[in-house]
Amino acid sequence: MAARLVAYTAVAGISVGVVSLAWWCRSRCRVVWRSETPGKPEGALKGLAFSTKSSAGKEGGKVDPRDHRPREGFLSWDDYFMAVAYLSAQRSKDPHKQVGACIVSNEQIILGIGYNGFPRGCDDAQLPWAKCSDQDQLLDTKYPYVCHAEMNAILNKNQASLSQAKLYVTMFPCNECAKLLIQAGIKEVIFHEDKPSLPASTQPRGGMMVRATSFACTMQRTCKHR
């Protein structure tokens, strides 16, 4: 009986310890998140401006608890996945250009995301980020080392095949990335084009459909594209 009581007491003590540790970790995560985003109490997602329309269509209005209609003003699939691409671009350390990419299946499931940066294990502070050098030396620029967002999205895939998948990317892919996308089996590329005078292209290129999409998000203003 005494041994059983001791066992129960030990289990109770362990449970209390686990709960206490969980609450401590949660509080620490909040502190770290807030401390890493000075001036942004809501974190980096502060820049995203989403609609809060109720089913009645009123901005910020209270929703009738008896209202069975779905909410209006929700994100389209194109806006949703392009927002993920722009969020990924925020991870890039490139001072000149931040690009994000998101690969999506036919079932609207994210298969891979990526952003432009140096390979794993390479010191971001040691390799050059410059676009040109005084001596016109290619090795003194970022171009021999950087991995593009599309490449990283393909390499970060969570399944064996990307056949018939779609790619959302914040900038039109370069020639090298276009070849990778074709070889990976990507069927469609959706890029954000900030020049409304250019019509969207729907002509197949190397087996892929390419089209531009309009995307309005305040986060894109923080990403350098030129």
For residue range 67-87, what is the model confidence (pLDDT) as tens digits?
989 888 889 999 999 999 999
pLDDT range class, residue 36, cuts 50, 70, 90: very low
Q: Which CB contacts under 8 angstroms, 24+ apart, belong to 46-53?
A: 47/217, 47/218, 47/219, 47/221, 47/222, 48/83, 48/217, 48/218, 48/219, 49/217, 49/218, 50/75
What pLDDT score was predicted for residue 5? Answer: 57
pLDDT range class, residue 39, cuts 50, 70, 90: very low
Looking at per-residue pLDDT, the higher value among 3 and 147 belongs to 147
Check if 150 is active-site. yes
Q: How far apart are CA 111 and CA 116, in angstroms?
A: 17
Name residues whose C-beta falls within 8 Å of residue 39's C-beta, 6 or more positions apart in sequence: none
pLDDT above 70 (res 55): no
CB 163, CB 106: distance < 8 Å: no
CB 189, CB 210: distance < 8 Å: yes
From 72, 150, 176, 188, the catalytic residue:
150
- Lowest mean pLDDT across 53-57, 59-63, 116-120, 171-175: 53-57
Q: How far apart are CA 193 and CA 153, in angstroms?
A: 20
Calculate mean pLDDT across residues 157-184: 94
CB 180, CB 154: distance < 8 Å: yes
Residue 16 is which amino acid?
Answer: V
Looking at per-residue pLDDT, the higher value among 161 and 48 belongs to 161
Q: Which CATH superfamily is domain 75-222 in?
A: Cytidine Deaminase, domain 2 (3.40.140.10)
